[in-house]
Amino acid sequence: MLPVALGGLALTVGVERLLVPRPALRRPADCWMLHAGLWCVGLGLLYALTARPLFSGVNLLLLWLLIVLVSNSKYHSLREPFVCADFEYFSDAVKFPRLYLPFFGFGKAALLAVGFLVYLWAGLSFEVPGARLAALLPLAVGLGLLRLGRRQVQPSFDAERDVRDWGLAASLWRYFWAARAPVDRAGLGSPFAGEPVPASSPAKAAAASGFGQPTSLPDLVSVQSESFFDVRDLWP
């Protein structure tokens, strides 16, 4: 178990070097703790299910490689790396493959699928299962590292910058918790935080006629286009 854990952890760093944008190796120690902690927890969970250390390690490494490849495809199309919220699109990719596979590449998808099936058969057929209780060690180490690496750091929400500074694993971890943190709307400083003023109110009528100061905001038109085009190109 120990050689698989250490060797696999080193390989995750090598796979991360394929990422675009490429994260810096010189990053805070807590980011490396999160990286190693997520690897150990994932390895422990898979080993508890399969009782095969090498099979579990390669499965986890293939998952990490898949995330890196998906991130590179997303960055190539949208100039944004993979973020935590993108995990929900994996189920959509299974439901609607013709919508997502052109971005990822049919060749990459076919190669990964065939390779995974061959490995799945070989791993379950030839590797001798061990004691499932051995999964407790990587789980305990991983949870401890996650606890040590979890600092109150607010992401910049510039995904490219955070991935460069923290690495992909730490960025995903912190975006996950940031999305679940309570938000103080009063502290956002948004001009839309006040009570809406009806269009028929005297204040809005006075503002429209040019008398008095406007006390309400103009109507807001929002266009949500996802990734089909960049609406900023339409601005004169």
217 falls within a domain = no
Instruction: Please give the average per-residue pLDDT across 152-166, as a whole number.
Output: 88
In this structure, the dihedral spanned by the alpha carbons of residues 148, 152, 158 and 163, taken in order and rounded to 10 degrees, is -10
Q: Residue 196: its pLDDT value, please?
A: 53
**Identity of residue 157:** F
Whether the Cβ atoms of residue 23 and residue 164 lie closer than 8 Å to each other: yes
More confident of the two residues 104 and 135: 135
Asked whether residue 99 is assigned to any structural domain, the reply reads: yes
Percentage of residues in the chain with pLDDT exceeding 70?
77
By the 8 A CB rule, do 139 and 21 touch?
Answer: no
**Burial of 194 per CB tally in 10 Å (0-12, 13-18, 19+):** exposed
- Residue 233 is assigned to a structural domain of this protein: no
| Residue 85 within any structural domain of the chain | yes
Among the ranges given (16-25, 86-95, 187-196), the one the predictor scored with the smallest mean pLDDT: 187-196
Does a structural domain hold residue 12?
Answer: yes
Q: What is the per-residue pLDDT for 201?
A: 53
Question: Are the CB atoms for 58 and 45 separated by under 8 Å?
Answer: no
48-69 pLDDT per residue, tens: 988 888 888 988 998 899 899 8
Residue 211 within any structural domain of the chain: no
Tokens of 102: 């052109």
3-state helix, strand, coil in the chain (%, to 5): 65, 0, 35
Residue 78, CA distances (Å) to 74, 133, 163, 226 in order: 6, 44, 15, 10
Structural contact between residues 134 and 1, judged by C-beta atoms closer than 8 angstroms? yes
Is the model's pLDDT at 145 over the cut of 70? yes
Comparing CA positions, the residue from 50, 28, 49, 30 lying closest to residue 38 is: 30
N-terminal to C-terminal alpha carbon distance within the chain: 60
Domain count, the chain: 1
Task: Kindly tell me if the per-residue pLDDT of 76 is higher than 50.
Answer: yes
The tally of CA atoms less than 13 A away on the side-chain side of residue 183 is 9
- The answer to whether position 214 is within a domain reads no
Q: Where are the alpha helices (DSSP H) in 79-188?
A: 89-95, 97-104, 106-126, 136-149, 159-166, 168-178
User: Does 191 fall in a domain?
Assistant: no
Q: Kindly give, in sequence order, each residue whose CB lies less than 8 Å from that of residue 137, ignoring residues fewer than 6 positions away.
A: 1, 44
Range of the domain at 163: 2-178
